[in-house]
Chains A and B, each alone.
Chain A
Amino acid sequence: MNLARRSPLAGAGALVVGLVIVAALAAPLLATTDPVDQDLAVALKPPFWTPDGTLEHPLGTDHLGRDVYSRVIYGARISLVISVLAAFLGAVVGVAAGLVAGYLGGRVDTLIMRLADLNLAFPLILLALAVVALLGANLKNLVIVMAITTWMIYARVVRGLSLGLREREFVQAARALGAHDARIIARHVLPNVLAPVMVVWTLEVARIILMESALSFLGLGVPPPTPTWGRMLAEGRDYLTVAGWIAVFPGLAILFTVLGINFLGDGLRDLLDPRLRRQT
């Protein structure tokens, strides 16, 4: 509420994100039909507002007669599960790496930051594609691969912050009292980097949703029959001339979800840490 009052955009973002989460959780209740049910008798039906459309399939059907609306609703599940888990896994690894690099400095710092540079040198989607193709496309591998494309973002942010925190009085005091490095990092440094990490986490969830749907679009996402927004788009592409709606709606779902998360992330940043306000 507070967020919505301070920033209307962030409020709108939170609303959209809330809706997507509800769609994912309550998909069986919200969907009108089973998203994988094929019914060739109603294949390629247009959305309800067109002359041939019916309310039975509000957003039309695809080439196999599957309900586009129900598939879009269920598609939210895969996008959210993969992006949230991957962003979390990446955050755990990246925050740990950043804390160690920034607090200890020296060779460990150099090593970790070189690894981050190395990781950033790869066109991430290409790396993700190659690894998924080789390991096999399933939920677990996708989460791991997406985490590989995100950990270094946290590592860099957290390293920068802990470099500064290391010199602060309360950390120096803890050290003077004889606390171990591990304890200082966990009790004094970590709590002070969590707010910016939350912001990065939100924006990374949005980026991972885009990347996951791109992979899925290219045929390397969670395998069928699980509905994913990316694959729906890919299937719709073959029917652009006769049934554009198959490709339009999953794309809109991706766009609004990512837009909502970005709004929310921008608002969170302004709220939690004005210093981090995006330069760009």
Chain B
Amino acid sequence: MRAYIAGRLAAAVLVILGVSVVSFVLTFLTGDPAEIMLPPGATAAQIAKFRADWGFDDPLFVQYWRFLRRAVHGDFGTSLRHGQPSLPLIAARLPATFQLTVTAMLLAIALAVPLGVLAAMRRGGPMDLLAMAVALVGQSVPNFWLAIMMILLFAVSWGLLPTSGRGGIAHVVMPAAAIAINLMALLTRLVRSTMIEMLSEDYVRTARAKGLRELFVTSRHALPNALIPLVTVVGLQFGYILGGAVVIETIFTWPGVGLFTIQAILNRDYPVVQASVFILASAVVLINLAVDLLYVWLDPRIRVT
């Protein structure tokens, strides 16, 4: 048990180190940052000074070591665009992204669980068909297109919801729904298939034989076990959800890390891109680690082995 946790922790640390290498290397995929950041017609002396000031002249491994040492201290360099340290710029936008992704996850779960359960209870029935249709279309619909169609309908035509920015609950509905759709499709499928499996287990038959009502059997005996894989899948999907947030935030000008990062990418603001890629990827690693540990706690069968 302890060895398992230690092993997972060590693997997570390794992956995060790898993440740091990749975020660092991103900067060097292109030519010379000096040429991009300085105004055209800069003199050779100006370019040399810029390179020296930002440390672009040192050998790569020296630059990486410096990057890593500073990163550990929370220093990802100064945004070339904003002239401020990049980490606080990103940290300030994390709550908005957190709000959006968590809302999307909760929304997906809240819709997928009842739909999947009802589908499993009456296989081949109308709810089952609906669930399968939702699952099939939901996994194929481009979320950014759905976002635009929602804007067209709920904002432009009916004027019900705001199209951009962050404010009350009304602001979060459309972006969260757009991010949730793909996850919801996946979860509906998952809940349906695990519930079908659980409902044929011996302990469910026993519960039914005891004369318990079907609702009770489903909700108290089968459902809790069916929800265990849900936790893993939601955790594993966190990277995709964050990716979805990156795209959807730009559509709704949601003031989160995604929008900020896209702007930084388009402006070639390396310190911000580095910091953001590093932080988001590390967040995915940590969430996956947390899910692994949560799983041990949720499913006693793993604890024994």
Chain A hits for B19, CB < 8 A: 118, 121-122
The contact string, 1 if C-beta is below 8 Å from chain B, for chain A 255-270, is 1001100110000000
Given contacts A114-B18, A123-B240, A218-B250, contact A237 B148 (CB under 8 A): yes
Cα(A129)–Cα(B245), bound, Å = 13
Q: A118-B22, A121-B239, A259-B140 are in contact. Are A135 and B246 (CB under 8 A)?
A: no
A129/B239 in contact, CB under 8 A? no
Q: How far is the CA of A217 from the CA of B246 in the complex (A)?
A: 12
B30 near A126 with CB under 8 A, answer no
A131 and B144 alpha carbons, distance in the complex (Å)? 21
Residue of A120, A126, A236, A280 touching B277 (CB-CB under 8 A): A126
Distance between A255 CB and nearest chain B CB, rounded to angstroms: 5
Across the interface, do B247 and A135 meet the contact criterion of CB distance under 8 Å? no
Size band of the interface chain B makes with A: 35 or more
Cα A71 to Cα B252 in complex, Å, equals 26
Specify which of B190, B281, B284, B285 is in contact with A280 (CB 8 Å cutoff): B190
Check A117 for interface membership: any CB of B closer than 8 A.
yes
User: Roughly how many angstroms separate A143 CA and B137 CA in the complex, as a whole number?
Assistant: 26
Is A134 on the interface with B (CB-CB < 8 A)? yes
Chain A, interface SS category? helix
Contact partners of B193 in chain A: CB under 8 A: 279-280
CB–CB B145/A123 < 8 A = no
- Contact partner of A233 (CB less than 8 A), chosen from B145, B189, B276, is B145
Which of A34-42, A61-69, A87-95, A239-247 participates in binding chain B? A239-247
User: Are B144 and A129 within 8 A (Cβ)?
Assistant: no
Interface of chain B: mostly helix, strand, loop or mixed: helix
When the two chains form the complex, which single residue of B136, B139, B262, B280 contacts A123, counting CB atoms closer than 8 Å? Answer: B280
- For the complex formed, measure the closest distance between the CB of B247 and the CB atoms of chain A, giving whole angstroms: 5
- Determine whether A210 belongs to the interface, using a CB cutoff of 8 Å to chain B: yes
Contacts of B240 in A (CB 8 A): 123-124
Q: Does B151 interact with chain A (Cβ within 8 Å)?
A: yes
- A210 near B142: Cβ-Cβ < 8 Å: yes
- Cα A208 to Cα B156 with chains together (Å): 30
Contacts A214-B142, A262-B139 given: A124-B239 contact, CB under 8 Å?
A: yes
**Interface set, chain A 34-68, CB cutoff 8 A to B:** none
Interchain CB contact under 8 A, B148 and A233 = yes
Q: A124 CA to B246 CA in the complex, in Å? A: 11
CA distance A125 to B250 in the complex (A): 13
- When the two chains form their complex, are residues B148 and A121 in contact, meaning their CB atoms are under 8 A apart? no
Check if B22 sits within 8 Å of A122, measured CB to CB: yes
Do A255 and B140 have beta carbons less than 8 Å apart? yes
Let me know if B212 is at the binding interface, CB within 8 A. Answer: no
**Residue from B140, B149, B262, B282 with most neighbouring chain A CB atoms (10 Å):** B140
User: Please, could you name 24 A-B residue pairs with CB atoms under 8 Å apart, sorted by A?
Assistant: A115-B18, A117-B15, A121-B284, A121-B285, A122-B19, A122-B22, A125-B243, A125-B244, A126-B276, A129-B246, A129-B262, A134-B27, A134-B268, A135-B29, A218-B247, A218-B250, A233-B148, A248-B149, A248-B152, A255-B140, A258-B140, A262-B139, A278-B189, A279-B190
A134-B30, A210-B142, A213-B142 given; 18 more Cβ-contact pairs under 8 Å: A114-B18, A117-B15, A120-B239, A122-B19, A123-B246, A125-B247, A126-B242, A130-B277, A131-B26, A133-B266, A217-B247, A218-B250, A233-B142, A240-B156, A244-B156, A247-B152, A262-B139, A280-B190
